Amino acid sequence: MQFLAEGVNLGVPIQAIAELLDVCQRTLRRWRIHISGK
């Protein structure tokens, strides 16, 4: 939540933050599949 607050203060568009979070979620999901695949 601290990151989101700072993002708003910096004038970063909410959509940009949402896209960043979405990319992070996809990456984590990919890592989980890769780790469990071992």
Residue 16 lies in a domain: yes
- For residues 21 and 27, give the distance between their C-alpha atoms in angstroms, rounded to a whole number: 10
Query: How does residue 14 score in pLDDT terms, banded at 50, 70 and 90?
Result: confident
* Span 16-36, pLDDT tens digits: 889 999 999 999 999 888 878
Q: How many domains does the chain have?
A: 1
Indicate the pTM of the whole model. 0.50
The verdict on residue 28 lying in a domain is: yes
Residue 2 falls inside a structural domain: no
Give the span between the Cα atoms of 16 and 23, in whole angstroms: 11
Residue 1 in any domain: the answer is: no
Residue 4 falls inside a structural domain: no
Q: Where are the alpha helices (DSSP H) in the chain?
A: 2-10, 14-37
